[in-house]
């Protein structure tokens, strides 16, 4: 008997191919493939309109955008960040010669815990880099209050947070000095590969735009040691098409989230993170925590899913602080990060994406019920 088709944690939301053909025809006809072409310009404005921001600069991916954001603000020394994230968060610091200082997370939200930030500040601290984990907003007011008191910059890794709004009903990416989005294929809104920096004013956007294009100001003037971080016309065209479908995709994700929560009630040993609520979440992921009351360990449950061709993920395990390039840092010691360590050992992300069918959800949920 053949095994059922695999189910992944996420799959890229792709519009019908026939809808993309006219965009390709325009690219082929005008022969502009990159370097700020028509679709690039259109997508920047369309994203500003959709997200409710004034200034946004597109990038080839979110990691290059993080590296460039740190360059744009001339961040040096030490930056306080979370160990509970994808490695690109901390890697962007190392690429800039900056020392990451890891601080523990809040046990309810799994975001950087503002109550632990001040104790980690030293004379070398220049910035805070929090992450809106799973698309749930950080405590942006508390973080900004600390940054203001200590004269620190704040750069948000908002890779998961497309379309999310904060407690003041503003786009969450308006917080901090800069916010960085990812448009990777696994994200809620994707351009296959892509990313963006959201900034506060035209001056910093102009500087960022120079940095992402080798530092060129014009044909004969290079003002900074920039990088090639430009988004291609192909990716920007896909983004323009994706925007036409994004609201339906977000609504479907919310439905799947609600169904999971309803069906998981009462299963001892499995805990869902609190629902941040409509607009304060984009339902980018569906994480559960597996504790000692559950009959199987987290890793045994993970393997049970893999054996059934269901590719759940342990986002984020191991912690960034446990990788070789970071574990020698004093702040990386497990004793400093008890909440993050516990979460990393309990977390399991279940499949969630617009095309996930009810029968596939039933397969996932049946495997969680242990006789």
The answer to whether residue 188 sits within a structural domain is yes
Both tokens of 120, joined, read 């980690």
Cis preceding linkage at 93, omega within 30: no
pLDDT of residue 44: 98
Cα–Cα distance measured from residue 113 to residue 116, given in angstroms and rounded to the nearest whole number: 6
Cα–Cα distance measured from residue 137 to residue 161, given in angstroms and rounded to the nearest whole number: 8
Cα–Cα distance measured from residue 173 to residue 161, given in angstroms and rounded to the nearest whole number: 8
Same domain, 266 and 232: no
pLDDT of residue 1: 52
Cα–Cα distance measured from residue 296 to residue 106, given in angstroms and rounded to the nearest whole number: 25
The answer to whether residue 47 sits within a structural domain is yes
Same domain, 305 and 189: no
Which CATH number do you get for residue 180? 3.40.640.10
Same domain, 154 and 257: no
The answer to whether residue 1 sits within a structural domain is no
| Cβ–Cβ < 8 Å for 44, 58 | yes
pLDDT of residue 218: 93
Same domain, 230 and 105: yes
Same domain, 65 and 193: yes
Both tokens of 192, joined, read 């296959």
Tell me the β-bridge partners of 92.
Answer: none
Cα–Cα distance measured from residue 39 to residue 26, given in angstroms and rounded to the nearest whole number: 9
pLDDT of residue 266: 87
Same domain, 106 and 225: yes
| Domain termination site, one of 243, 259, 286 | 243
Same domain, 271 and 283: yes
Cα–Cα distance measured from residue 160 to residue 202, given in angstroms and rounded to the nearest whole number: 25
What lies within 8 Å, CB to CB, of 329 at 6+ separation is: 99, 100, 101, 102, 321
Residues of the chain where predicted confidence (pLDDT) is lower than 70: 1-2, 371
Same domain, 109 and 214: yes
Provide the domain limits for residue 348: 7-11+246-368
Which CATH number do you get for residue 297? 3.90.1150.10
pLDDT digits (tens, 9 = 90+) for 348-365: 999 999 999 999 999 999
| Domain termination site, one of 243, 260, 281 | 243
- Length of the chain measured in residues: 371
Same domain, 82 and 122: yes
pLDDT of residue 279: 80
pLDDT of residue 371: 65
HEC string of the chain? CCCCCCEECCCCCCCCHHHHHHHHHHHHHHCCCCCCCHHHHHHHHHHHHHHCCCEEEEECCHHHHHHHHHHHCCCCCEEEECCCCCCHHHHHHHHCCCEEEECCECCCCCCECHHHCHHHCCCCEEEEECECHHHCCCCHHHHHHHHHHHCCEEEEECCCCCCCECCCCCEHHHCCCEEEEECCCCCCCCCCCCEEEEECCHHHHHHHHHHCECCEEECCEECCCCCECCCCHHHHHHHHHHHCCHHHHHHHHHHHHHHHHHHHCCCCCEEECCCCCECCECCCCEEEEECCCCCCCHHHHHHHHHHCCEECECCCCCCHHHCCCCCCCHHHCHHHCHHHHHHHHHEEEECCCCCCCHHHHHHHHHHHCCC
Both tokens of 202, joined, read 């035209």
Number of domains in the chain: 2
Tell me the β-bridge partners of 287.
Answer: 349
Cα–Cα distance measured from residue 35 to residue 191, given in angstroms and rounded to the nearest whole number: 16
| Cβ–Cβ < 8 Å for 256, 286 | yes
pLDDT of residue 358: 95
Same domain, 311 and 202: no
pLDDT of residue 166: 92
The answer to whether residue 2 sits within a structural domain is no
Same domain, 231 and 285: no
| Domain termination site, one of 210, 226, 243 | 243
pLDDT digits (tens, 9 = 90+) for 276-287: 887 889 999 999
Cα–Cα distance measured from residue 264 to residue 257, given in angstroms and rounded to the nearest whole number: 11
Same domain, 21 and 122: yes
pLDDT of residue 342: 98
Both tokens of 344, joined, read 């990393």
């Amino acid at each position: 008997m053949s095994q059922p088709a695999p189910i992944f944690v996420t799959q890229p939301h792709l519009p019908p191919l026939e809808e993309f053909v006219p965009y390709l025809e325009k690219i082929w006809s005008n022969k502009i493939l990159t370097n700020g072409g028509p679709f690039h310009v259109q997508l920047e404005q369309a994203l500003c309109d959709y997200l409710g921001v004034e200034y946004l600069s597109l990038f080839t991916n979110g990691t290059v955008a993080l590296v460039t954001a740190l360059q744009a603000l001339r961040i040096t020394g030490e930056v306080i960040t979370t160990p509970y994230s994808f490695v690109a968060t901390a890697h962007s610091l190392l690429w800039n010669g900056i020392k990451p200082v890891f601080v523990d997370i809040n046990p309810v939200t799994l975001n950087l815990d503002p109550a632990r930030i001040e104790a980690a500040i030293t004379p070398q601290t220049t910035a805070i880099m929090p992450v809106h984990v799973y698309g749930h907003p950080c405590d942006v007011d508390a973080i900004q209050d600390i940054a203001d008191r200590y004269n620190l910059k704040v750069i948000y890794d908002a890779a998961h947070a497309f379309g999310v709004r904060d407690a003041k009903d503003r786009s969450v990416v308006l917080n901090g000095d800069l916010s960085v989005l990812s448009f990777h294929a696994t994200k809620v809104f994707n351009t296959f590969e892509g990313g963006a920096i959201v900034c506060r004013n035209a001056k910093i956007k102009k500087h960022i735009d120079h940095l992402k294009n080798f530092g060129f100001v014009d044909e004969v003037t290079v003002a900074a040691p920039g990088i090639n971080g430009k988004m291609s016309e192909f990716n920007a065209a896909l983004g323009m098409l994706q925007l036409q479908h994004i609201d339906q995709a977000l609504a479907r994700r919310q439905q799947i989230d609600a169904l999971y929560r309803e069906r998981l009630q009462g299963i001892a040993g499995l805990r869902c993170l609190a629902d941040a609520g409509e607009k304060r979440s984009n339902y980018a992921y569906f994480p559960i925590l597996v504790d000692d009351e559950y009959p199987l360990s987290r890793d045994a449950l993970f393997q049970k899913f893999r054996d059934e061709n269901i590719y759940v993920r342990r986002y984020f395990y191991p912690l960034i602080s446990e990788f070789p390039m970071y574990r020698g840092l004093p702040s990386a010691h497990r004793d400093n990060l008890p909440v993050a360590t516990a979460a990393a050992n309990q977390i399991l992300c279940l499949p969630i994406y617009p095309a996930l069918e009810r029968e596939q959800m039933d397969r996932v949920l049946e495997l969680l019920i242990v006789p």
